[in-house]
C-alpha cells in the first residue's frame, strides 16, 4: 500500500547527515539535538565528514575531504547513492574503490558534454556543406543551361571559320565540365544528407540505454529541462520520482547477471506502461527516474504506487535452471519538482524519500 511521509521527518540536511553518517553499524550516532544555527549545521557537517572517513579508514586528504563532502551532502548524487548501497550491503568503501567511482561519473559527464559539443559542431559543418553544395549545384546548373543555349544559338547562325569552330569546341568542353560539376555537387549534397542522418542516429544511440531501450540519464536531464520549462509556462504540475529494485544484488548473486538484466528490463517495461504523461529513464544500475507531467504529487504518487503493486504480485522463473526467483519488488521516492530549484536538488530529495521507503520495509512509495 502507499504510505504518507512521517510528519516528524526532519529537514533535508539533517536527513542527509543521518543517512550517510549512520548508514552502517558499529559506530556512534550523531547527537540527537538538531543544529539551531548555521554554526551548528557546519559543525554537524564536519562531524559527518570525519565519521565517514574514519568509518572507512580513509586518509584525511584534500581530495578525500572533498569527496566525503559531496557524498554526505549528496551534491554528487550518483556517487552518494553508490556509497549508500554499498554501506547497506556491508561492503567496505576502500581508497581504490573511491578513486575509481568518484571520478567515473564525472568523466562520463565530461565525455558526454564534449561529445555533444563535437556533435553540434559537426552538425553545423555538415549543414553548411549541404547548403553550399546545393547553392553551387543550382549555380552550375543555371550556368550550364545558359551556356548550352548560347552554343545552340552560335551553331544556328551557320557561321564558319577557324575562330568560330575553336570557340564552339571550347564552349562544348566548358559545358561538359559544368555538367560534371553539377553531378559532383549533387553527390556532395546527398553525402551531406547521409552525414546528417548518421549524426542523428549517433546522437539517438548516445541517449538510449541499450538494455531497456529507455532513455538514459543524460537524455533524462534534457527531458527534465524541457518539461520543467513547459510546465512552468503552462502552469501545470511536475513530479520527479526515483525507483530502485529491492534486494537486486541478491538476484544477481543467486541467479546470475543474465537474470538480473531480465529483471531490470521487466521493471523498466512496467514503469514505462504507467501512462503517456510519465517519462521513464534508466538512471543507472537498478535505478529508474520518472517524470510525471500534469499530475500533482498525490496523483503521481498513487499512479506510481499502483504500478508498484501490480508488479509486486508477478513471479519470475530462472529461464536457465527453471528455479523460481519469486516476487521482485521495487521501492520509490517521489517529490514535487517545483519545490526545488534544480534537477540536482530534486533528485536528492527523491533519493531521500526512496531511502525512507527502503528503511521502512521496501516495496513501497514515499513522498518527499
For the stretch 130-139, pLDDT in tens is 566 666 656 5
The mean of the pLDDT values for the chain is 77
Using a 10 angstrom Cβ sphere, with 0-12 exposed, 13-18 middle and 19 or more buried, the burial of residue 20 is buried
- The CA R_g of the chain, rounded to the nearest whole Å, is 31
End-to-end CA distance of the chain: 17
Selected residue with higher pLDDT from 325 and 75: 325
Global model pTM greater than 0.75: no
Let me know: does 264 contact 363? Beta carbons within 8 Å.
no
Sign of CA pseudo-dihedral 227, 118, 106, 212:
positive
The model's confidence at residue 82, banded by pLDDT at 50, 70 and 90, is confident
The model's confidence at residue 17, banded by pLDDT at 50, 70 and 90, is very low
Cα(253)–Cα(170) distance, rounded to whole angstroms?
Answer: 80
Sort strands 287-293 and 238-245 into parallel, antiparallel or unpaired: antiparallel
pLDDT above 60: residue 106: no
Q: At what angle do helices 257-272 and 297-312 cross, to 10 degrees?
A: 140
Selected residue with higher pLDDT from 9 and 232: 232
- Mean per-residue pLDDT for 104-118? 56
- Mean per-residue pLDDT for 194-217? 79
Candidates 35, 3, 39; CA nearest to 16 is 35
pLDDT tens-digit map of 257-306: 889 999 999 999 999 999 888 999 999 889 999 999 999 999 999 999 99
Half-sphere exposure in the Cβ direction for 314 (13 Å, CA): 14
What was the pLDDT predicted at 67? 86
Domain covering 209-368 assigned CATH 3.40.190.10 in the classification: no
Question: Is-catalytic flag, 287?
Answer: no
The catalytically annotated residue of 286, 287, 303, 352 is 286
Least confident of 13-17, 48-52, 152-156: 13-17
- Mean per-residue pLDDT for 155-165? 61
What was the pLDDT predicted at 36? 46
In the chain, where the domains are located: 1-93, 118-206, 209-368
Let me know: does 298 contact 335? Beta carbons within 8 Å.
no
Amino acid at each position: 500500500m502507499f504510505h504518507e511521509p512521517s510528519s516528524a521527518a526532519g529537514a533535508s540536511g539533517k536527513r542527509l547527515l543521518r543517512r550517510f553518517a549512520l548508514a552502517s553499524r558499529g559506530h556512534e550516532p550523531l547527537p540527537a539535538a538538531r543544529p539551531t544555527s548555521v554554526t551548528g549545521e557546519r559543525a554537524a557537517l564536519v562531524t559527518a565528514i570525519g565519521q565517514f572517513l574514519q568509518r572507512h579508514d580513509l586518509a584525511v586528504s584534500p581530495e578525500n575531504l572533498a569527496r566525503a563532502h559531496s557524498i554526505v551532502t549528496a551534491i554528487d548524487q550518483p556517487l552518494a547513492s553508490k556509497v549508500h548501497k554499498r554501506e547497506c550491503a556491508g561492503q567496505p568503501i576502500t581508497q581504490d574503490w573511491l578513486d575509481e567511482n568518484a571520478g567515473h561519473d564525472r568523466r562520463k559527464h565530461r565525455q558526454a558534454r564534449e561529445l555533444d559539443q563535437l556533435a553540434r559542431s559537426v552538425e553545423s559543418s555538415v549543414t553548411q556543406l549541404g547548403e553550399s553544395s546545393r547553392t553551387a549545384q543550382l549555380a552550375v546548373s543555371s550556368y550550364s543551361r545558359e551556356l548550352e543555349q548560347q552554343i545552340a544559338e552560335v551553331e544556328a547562325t551557320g557561321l564558319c571559320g577557324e575562330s568560330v569552330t575553336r570557340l564552339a569546341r571550347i564552349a562544348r568542353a566548358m559545358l561538359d565540365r559544368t555538367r560534371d560539376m553539377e553531378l559532383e555537387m549533387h553527390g556532395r549534397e546527398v553525402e551531406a544528407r547521409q552525414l546528417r542522418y548518421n549524426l542523428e542516429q549517433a546522437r539517438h544511440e548516445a541517449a538510449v540505454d541499450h538494455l531497456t531501450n529507455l532513455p538514459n540519464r543524460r537524455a533524462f536531464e534534457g527531458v527534465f529541462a524541457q518539461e520543467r520549462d513547459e510546465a512552468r509556462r503552462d502552469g501545470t504540475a511536475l513530479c520527479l520520482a526515483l525507483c530502485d529494485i529491492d534486494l537486486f544484488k541478491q538476484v544477481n548473486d543467486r541467479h546470475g547477471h543474465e537474470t538480473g538484466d531480465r529483471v531490470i528490463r521487466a521493471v523498466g517495461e512496467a514503469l514505462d506502461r504507467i501512462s503517456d504523461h510519465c517519462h521513464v529513464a534508466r538512471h543507472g544500475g537498478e535505478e529508474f527516474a520518472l517524470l510525471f507531467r500534469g499530475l500533482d504529487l498525490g496523483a503521481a504518487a498513487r499512479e506510481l504506487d499502483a504500478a508498484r503493486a501490480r508488479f509486486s504480485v508477478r513471479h519470475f522463473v530462472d529461464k536457465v535452471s527453471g528455479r523460481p526467483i519469486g516476487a521482485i519488488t521495487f521501492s520509490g521516492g517521489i517529490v514535487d519538482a517545483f519545490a526545488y530549484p534544480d534537477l540536482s536538488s530534486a533528485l536528492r530529495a527523491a533519493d531521500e524519500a526512496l531511502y525512507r521507503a527502503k528503511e521502512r520495509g521496501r516495496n513501497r512509495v514515499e513522498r518527499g
